[in-house]
Amino acid sequence: MLIDILRSFTRPYRGRIAVITLLVLAQVVISLYLPALNADIINNGVATGNINYIWQVGFEMLGLTAVSVVVSVGAAYLTAFVSMSFARDLRATVFRTVLDFNAQDVDHFGTPSLITRNTNDIQQVQLLVTMGLSMLLMAPLTMIGGVIMALAHNLRMSILIAVAVPLMALVIGLMMRVAIPQFRTIQTRIDRINGVLREQITGMRVIRAFVRDDFEQARFADANDALRETSLRINRIFALAMPMLMLILNFSTIGVVWFGAHLVSTGDMQIGDISAFLSYLMQILISVMMATMAAMLVPRAAASAERIKAVLDVVPTITDPAQPTPQVTPGAVEFRNVSFRYPGAEEPVLRSIDFHIAPGEFTAIVGGTGSGKTTLINLLARFHDVTDGTVLVGGVDVREQARAELYRGLALVPQRAYLFGGSVRDNVRFGAQDITDDEVWRALEIAQAADFVRELDNGLDHEIAQGGQNLSGGQKQRMAIARAVALHPRIYVLDDSFSALDAATDARLRASLQREMAGSTVIVVAQRVSTVLHADRIIVLDEGAIAGIGTHDELLATCTAYREIVGSQLGANA
Per-residue pLDDT band at 573 (split at 50, 70, 90): low
pLDDT of 180-237, one tens digit each?
Answer: 777 778 877 887 887 788 778 777 778 877 878 888 888 888 888 988 888 888 888 7
Check which CATH number belongs to the domain holding 248 and give it: 1.20.1560.10
328 domain-assigned: no
What b/e readout covers 462-472, taking b as 16+ CB neighbours within 10 angstroms? eebeeebeebe
Per-residue pLDDT band at 273 (split at 50, 70, 90): confident
pLDDT of 441-496, one tens digit each?
Answer: 999 999 898 988 898 888 888 998 878 888 888 888 899 999 999 988 899 998 88
pLDDT of 491-516, one tens digit each?
Answer: 999 888 877 777 788 788 888 888 88
- Which residue range is the domain that position 361 belongs to? 333-570
Determine phi and psi for 95, rounding to 5 degrees: -60, -45
Domain boundary among 279, 312, 345: 312
**183/258 same-domain check:** yes
327 domain-assigned: no
pLDDT value at position 571? 66
**99 backbone φψ class: left, alpha, beta (φ>0; ψ -120 to 50):** alpha
**39/163 same-domain check:** yes
**397 backbone φψ class: left, alpha, beta (φ>0; ψ -120 to 50):** beta
Check which CATH number belongs to the domain holding 475 and give it: 3.40.50.300
388 domain-assigned: yes
What integer best gives the mean pLDDT of the chain?
A: 85
317 domain-assigned: no
Per-residue pLDDT band at 318 (split at 50, 70, 90): confident
Please name which of 288, 313, 291, 301 lies closest in space to residue 3, comparing C-alpha atoms. Answer: 301
pTM above 0.75, yes or no: no
Per-residue pLDDT band at 353 (split at 50, 70, 90): very high
Domains contained in the chain, number: 2
Please name which of 294, 310, 315, 317 lies closest in space to residue 4, comparing C-alpha atoms. Answer: 310
Pairing of strands 350-357, 410-413: unpaired
Asked whether 138 and 289 are in contact (CB, 8 A), the reply is no
380 domain-assigned: yes
**135/180 same-domain check:** yes
CA 383 from chain centre, in angstroms, equals 21
Asked whether 161 and 249 are in contact (CB, 8 A), the reply is no
320 domain-assigned: no
322 domain-assigned: no
318 domain-assigned: no
**98/207 same-domain check:** yes
**199/259 same-domain check:** yes
pLDDT value at position 47? 66
CA-CA distance, 486 to 501, in Å (whole number)?
20
Of all residues in the chain, what percent carry a pLDDT higher than 90?
A: 24
Residue 164 pLDDT > 70 = yes
**432/358 same-domain check:** yes
CA-CA distance, 17 to 518, in Å (whole number)?
61
**281/393 same-domain check:** no
**259/393 same-domain check:** no
**234/363 same-domain check:** no
Residue 572 pLDDT > 60 = no
**366/242 same-domain check:** no
Which range among 167-171, 450-454, 526-530 has the greatest average pLDDT? 450-454
**299/345 same-domain check:** no
Residues 6+ apart with CB under 8 A from 435: 429, 443, 486
**260/400 same-domain check:** no
Residue 379 pLDDT > 60 = yes
Per-residue pLDDT band at 540 (split at 50, 70, 90): very high
Residues 6+ apart with CB under 8 A from 407: 381
Residue 129 pLDDT > 60 = yes
Residue 295 pLDDT > 80 = no
